Amino acid sequence: MQTLREFTRKTKRGNILKIVREHYLRDDIGCGSDLCRQCFQNEVYQLTSQHEIRSTLFKCPHYLVLDTNVVLDQIDVLEEDVIRNVVVLTTVLNEVKHKSSSIYKRFNELIHDRTRNFYVFVNEHHKETYADREPDETANDRNDRAIRLATKWYDDHLQASQSPKDLERSGRAATRVILLTDDAGNRAKAEAESILVASAGDYVKSLEEFPLLVDKLSHKTFENEKKGLPQYPPHLSMKELLEGLRQKKLLQGAFQASRENYLEGSVNVEQYEKGILIQGRESLNRAVDGDLVAVELLPENEWSAPSEIVLEEKNVYADEVPSEERAEDEKDMLKQVRAAASFAERTPTGRIVGIVRRKWRQYCGILQPSLIEDTNRHIFVPADRKIPRIRIETRQAAKLQNQRIIVTIDTWPRNSRYPHGHFVRSLGPLGDTATENEVILLEHDVPHCKFSDEVLSFLPQMPWTITEEDYAKRVDLRDLYICSVDPPGCTDIDDALHCRELPNGNLEVGVHIADVSHFIRPGNALDKEAGSRGTTVYLVGKRIDMVPELLSSNLCSLVGGVERFAFSCVWEVDKEANVLSKRFHKSVIKSKRAMTYEEAQVIIDDPTQQNEIAKSLRNLNRLAKILKKRRMDNGALVLASPEIRFQVDSETHEPLEVEVKQMRETNSMVEEFMLLANITVAEHIATEFSECAVLRRHPRPPPTNFDPLVKAARYQGFQVDIESGLELSYSLDKCVKADNPYFNTMIRILTTRCMMQAVYFISGSLQKEEFFHYGLAAPIYTHFTSPIRRYSDIMVHRLLAASIGADSTYAQLLERKSNEELCHNLNYRHKMAQYAGRASVALNTHLFFRGKEEDEEGYVLFVRKNALQVLIPKYGLEGTLYLKSDKDGKDGLERVKSEFVFTFNEEDYTQRCGDVVFHSFDPVTVRLSLDSSNVQHEKLIFRLVKPYIKGFSVETTSDVTNAQVIATPPPSKKTKKDKKKK
């Protein structure tokens, strides 16, 4: 049977176009119930009478039909095992897919879980359940009617299928079908049509055997909530927002909350290089980090400047009326910032007037139990300081204390200081290494679930061997003395090198990269998963692979003594490292040895070793030095960042020792040839594919980014020229102090902080002059050398293979738009991986210093308004030494000013206390210890030892025991307000 669907569409010219489509209806679509003997059933996904759930609302066995909003709002409830026997209508499934891709993915996983009994009923093509749209009926009303029609048919169909005699004999009641909808109007219509119906909340509360399921309900409002006075301005309607954006009265951008000041944030807008500053609670207007917002720009005379104060919300329970202290904090902050900022320093400032699109996610953190006894209403404190606290209702407060839990936001009404949300699940005990690693991965949106069976199905079958056909298609380089040089413990070896003398006196140098693209074919599930993950993430003692371990640590890894597929880039160079020719080819190699940087350095430095590997390494090292000098002469920057490595206990996974990473000549040797390979490949693919080459650029920082560096160097007597990368490089080389060997490193660390983020892009999207990589002083650059751990390199391999005829091309390879979307994801994943790695280092640093106290030499890296940023060279650690000592009572209201006073000088960025003056790069001695008073945010506390300031510095006399020092550290009571910058 078929019916016709008619609808009209307005063309660009304003004409009305009538469209008629055939819509086929069938009568052989099964109901999916094992109670029915009339329909053809799919035995894999069927509704079963074996899983009955007891409800106080509905005493009979039943199946559930969900409307769209129940799926969208209550997905956390639906994911619980207790919810089974669910009829999923295609009307609902299509609406969910249209409205939220993330929830659709989660819902789809439930449908495909055979143990959950979610049955998809194609109601839109069943002749008894298809609902044609009536005149003047909205699409939403039509869909609601279609859902009711399908529910009614299901209920009638099941009752007709169940024999009264069989039911009487078994003593069971007839199985019914219940519609769950939170739309009161839809419920009223369903009741009028004699359909069993309930709201999701009422139904979940009726499941008395599962009382804790109520905690997972999404709450738009809380029960018995007092309607308080509005605390925020109203948001503009979507219609008003779109009109304001169209007329350019409003600006649109992503909101970024400040980690250091809960009353400040910014909105990244294309028209403004540094974005639009947002200050004050009312101006922030319920925006959450990541939201796409609409901003109204303030008049120029009301513009402000970013604050340099650290302001953290007090540990006061969330009453609905702002306390006097909070109001004082807000007024003080705004007054201090606006008074301190000169007109020249002011930046575009605005206020948020509406939310275009929320980007709420699941948040990790801890529960802060209510001060009121016998209440279910509590406050959730997120681990991410950018996220506001969240009000939730839970009956498990006692159980969830000292647990890391996950909460999601449901809504943020005007009359509530905090957003409303609900509990999702517990991760584990607070402070447990596995739990804290899970928090790091979740908070940085790192995909870390196990690879699915579908993904694993595209891996090669084991045992895997190289065939004669493979040898015939590749260049055989197994006889070359190829070796790899990597960090200790590396199992995912991407690259290997060789260097040999040619008969004409020149040298042949080869970089051989794991041929991952041979195993990961375009468009399959394995490829999509690798593209989604984007990069391998390295935590301390843990690695989250981009590709399954069979590839990353076995078939693709260029381990010593084993034949492997490679993609080779080979040059002929003269003795001065000038490239005379180059060639690319797929190859078969057999690495003669896999070495660590230290082992390779020992071979190079040992003159008694004269084997082929030793000769190859020495030639490579000599050429690398020439290449590096040439890069430096062209303006490449040598930057620095404090990097540390941990020795981890193999059983407990706790850090045993922490030390600064050592850099050897062999590190630089490998780096130079990887850079040369990346540049060579970039030039080639950009020539072959001018519109769709995957490249990497490093934008030149705006001059204002260098202000902290220029000022800090000037006060030390050095002039830093930022006109070009070359001038900057020369300036940095001159910043040397004979009495402070670490001074140049600190200057380079400061320079690193001034840089922009390097990003992937598609060649056709930018002009050639914008391809430039500022840090490397390279006109063009890409990533080719690490395909095991970076998806960008796989994309580059495919382009290179297609250009030399080693592999076939395919449509998506040359599609600019889809590749641009991939690049956006790669940039995001790369940034999150970096942040996750730093968070892991911070976690293990805290574990290392737990129960310890050490005095260490350090240097002042930055001078701030209320703190010193101190660097400890021994550990490569950086932390904050707070200079204020406000003492907060338990209720957060008591304030006692300290006897000593620090004065910040904005002209020369110094702090003075009496006769002691702190400048950037001044040496200090600090005592390191771990403050665990805040169970959620343990802090590495820096306390001043030298120079000595009475009443502030740590006493070091022998009569003061370590226990007393730890028990009463003067600055530690500030941790509720001041925070350590990460």
pLDDT tens, 274-325?
Answer: 789 998 888 999 999 989 999 999 998 888 888 766 666 665 454 444 455 5
Burial class of 10 by CB neighbour count within 10 A (0 to 12, 13 to 18, 19+): exposed
Distance of alpha carbon 48 from alpha carbon 35, whole angstroms: 7
Distance of alpha carbon 484 from alpha carbon 20, whole angstroms: 65
**Domain boundary residue, one of 394, 414, 430:** 430
- Residue range of the domain that includes 800: 454-692+778-833
Distance of alpha carbon 494 from alpha carbon 514, whole angstroms: 5
Distance of alpha carbon 952 from alpha carbon 394, whole angstroms: 43
* Residues 410 and 559 placed together within one structural domain of the fold: no
Q: CA angle 295-298-303, nearest 5°?
A: 120
At 92, list the tokens. 């609902």
Assigned domain for 2 exists:
no
Element (H, E) at 755: none
| Residue matched to tokens 């409303």 | 420
**Domain boundary residue, one of 159, 180, 213:** 213
Distance of alpha carbon 55 from alpha carbon 176, whole angstroms: 13
* Residues 652 and 543 placed together within one structural domain of the fold: yes
Cβ–Cβ under 8 Å, residues 65 and 33: no
Across the chain, mean pLDDT equals 83
Q: Per residue in 709-748, is it b (16+ CB within 10 Å) or e — as a string?
A: bbebbebbebebebeebbebbebbeebeeeeeebbbbbbb
Residues facing 227 on adjacent strands = none
* Residues 265 and 155 placed together within one structural domain of the fold: no
Q: Per residue in 106-141, is it b (16+ CB within 10 Å) or e — as a string?
A: ebbebeeeeebbbbbbebbebeebbbebeeeeeeee
Assigned domain for 308 exists:
yes
Q: What is the DSSP letter of 630?
A: H
pLDDT tens for 483-499 read 999 888 888 899 999 99
Distance of alpha carbon 91 from alpha carbon 971, whole angstroms: 61
Q: Which of 162-171, 415-424, 808-817 has the lowest mean pLDDT?
A: 162-171
Burial class of 375 by CB neighbour count within 10 A (0 to 12, 13 to 18, 19+): exposed
Distance of alpha carbon 542 from alpha carbon 833, whole angstroms: 13
* Residues 639 and 788 placed together within one structural domain of the fold: yes
Q: How many CB atoms lie within 10 A of CB 26?
A: 12
| Residue matched to tokens 């045993």 | 656
Q: What is the DSSP letter of 975?
A: G
* Residues 203 and 223 placed together within one structural domain of the fold: no
Would you state the pLDDT for residue 802?
Answer: 93
Would you state the pLDDT for residue 2?
Answer: 59
Would you state the pLDDT for residue 963?
Answer: 37
Residue 897: band (very low, low, confident or very high) from pLDDT cuts 50, 70, 90: very low
Cβ–Cβ under 8 Å, residues 947 and 919: no
At 848, list the tokens. 């290392």
- What are the φ/ψ torsions at residue 250 (nearest 5 degrees)? -120, 155
Higher pLDDT, 465 or 342: 465
Assigned domain for 742 exists:
no
Cβ–Cβ under 8 Å, residues 36 and 119: no
* Residues 674 and 785 placed together within one structural domain of the fold: yes
- What are the φ/ψ torsions at residue 843 (nearest 5 degrees)? -60, -50
- Residue partners of 328: CB distance under 8 A and separation at least 6: none
Our CA dihedral for 79, 80, 81, 87, rounded to 10 degrees, sits at -50
Assigned domain for 758 exists:
no
Helix, strand or coil for residue 740?
A: strand
At 696, list the tokens. 């990497």
Distance of alpha carbon 158 from alpha carbon 826, whole angstroms: 50
CATH of the domain at 887: 2.40.50.140
Distance of alpha carbon 409 from alpha carbon 392, whole angstroms: 9
* Residues 271 and 394 placed together within one structural domain of the fold: yes
Distance of alpha carbon 388 from alpha carbon 381, whole angstroms: 8
Q: Is the pLDDT of residue 60 over 70?
A: yes
CATH of the domain at 408: 2.40.50.690
Residue 350: band (very low, low, confident or very high) from pLDDT cuts 50, 70, 90: very high
Distance of alpha carbon 228 from alpha carbon 826, whole angstroms: 45
Distance of alpha carbon 434 from alpha carbon 843, whole angstroms: 11
Residues facing 484 on adjacent strands = 594
Q: Per the omega criterion (within 30 degrees of 0), is the bond before 947 cis?
A: yes
Cβ–Cβ under 8 Å, residues 743 and 735: yes
- Residue partners of 322: CB distance under 8 A and separation at least 6: 231, 417
Residues facing 2 on adjacent strands = 24
Would you state the pLDDT for residue 323?
Answer: 52
Q: Which of 114-118, 575-579, 706-710 has the highest mean pLDDT?
A: 575-579
pLDDT tens for 389-401 read 999 888 888 888 8
Assigned domain for 379 exists:
yes
Q: Which of 460-469, 530-539, 580-589, 901-910 has the lowest mean pLDDT?
A: 901-910
Assigned domain for 910 exists:
yes
Half-sphere exposure of 635 (CA within 13 A, CB side): 16
* Residues 259 and 183 placed together within one structural domain of the fold: no
Distance of alpha carbon 391 from alpha carbon 458, whole angstroms: 45
Q: What is the DSSP letter of 605?
A: H
At 608, list the tokens. 């008694």
Would you state the pLDDT for residue 571?
Answer: 94
* Residues 587 and 665 placed together within one structural domain of the fold: yes
Would you state the pLDDT for residue 328?
Answer: 63
- What are the φ/ψ torsions at residue 533 (nearest 5 degrees)? -70, -40
Q: Residue type at 891?
A: D
- Residue partners of 468: CB distance under 8 A and separation at least 6: none
CA quadruple 953, 956, 959, 962: dihedral sign: positive
Assigned domain for 1 exists:
no
* Residues 103 and 142 placed together within one structural domain of the fold: yes
Would you state the pLDDT for residue 47?
Answer: 79
Residue 7's nearest CA partner among 96, 16, 95 is 16
For the residues of 283-322, what is the DSSP string, one character each?
HHTT--TT-EEEEEEPPGGG-B------B---S----SS-
Residue 720: band (very low, low, confident or very high) from pLDDT cuts 50, 70, 90: confident
- Helix runs in 171-256, H state only: 184-192, 200-205, 238-246
Would you state the pLDDT for residue 42?
Answer: 60
Cβ–Cβ under 8 Å, residues 523 and 812: yes
CATH of the domain at 100: 3.40.50.1010
Assigned domain for 15 exists:
no
Q: Is the pLDDT of residue 875 over 80?
A: no
Cβ–Cβ under 8 Å, residues 274 and 249: no
Q: What is the DSSP letter of 299?
A: P
Region of residue 385 (phi > 0: left; psi between -120 and 50: alpha; otherwise: beta): alpha
Our CA dihedral for 568, 572, 577, 579, rounded to 10 degrees, sits at -90
Q: Is the pLDDT of residue 343 over 70?
A: no
Give the number of domains in the chain: 4
* Residues 423 and 392 placed together within one structural domain of the fold: yes
Distance of alpha carbon 358 from alpha carbon 356, whole angstroms: 7
Distance of alpha carbon 836 from alpha carbon 537, whole angstroms: 8
Q: Per the omega criterion (within 30 degrees of 0), is the bond before 299 cis?
A: no
* Residues 206 and 233 placed together within one structural domain of the fold: no
pLDDT tens for 617-662 read 999 999 999 999 998 888 888 876 666 666 655 555 566 566 666 6
Q: How many CB atoms lie within 10 A of CB 233?
A: 15
Cβ–Cβ under 8 Å, residues 571 and 581: yes
For the residues of 531-581, what is the DSSP string, one character each?
HHH-B-EEETTEEE-SS-HIIIIIISS--TTSEEEEEEEEEEE-TT--EEE
Q: Is the pLDDT of residue 510 over 80?
A: yes
Residues facing 918 on adjacent strands = 911
Q: Which of 226-230, 263-267, 956-960 has the lowest mean pLDDT?
A: 956-960
pTM, to two decimals? 0.79
Our CA dihedral for 148, 150, 153, 156, rounded to 10 degrees, sits at -70
Q: Are strands 475-476 and 579-590 parallel, antiparallel or unpaired?
A: parallel
CA quadruple 337, 342, 347, 353: dihedral sign: positive
Distance of alpha carbon 56 from alpha carbon 461, whole angstroms: 53
Residue 36: band (very low, low, confident or very high) from pLDDT cuts 50, 70, 90: confident
pLDDT tens for 145-192 read 999 999 999 898 888 888 888 777 877 888 889 999 999 999 999 999
Helix, strand or coil for residue 111?
A: helix
Would you state the pLDDT for residue 335?
Answer: 66
Residue 819's nearest CA partner among 770, 761, 758, 757 is 761
For the chain, first and last CA: distance in Å? Answer: 66
Q: Is the pLDDT of residue 745 over 90?
A: no
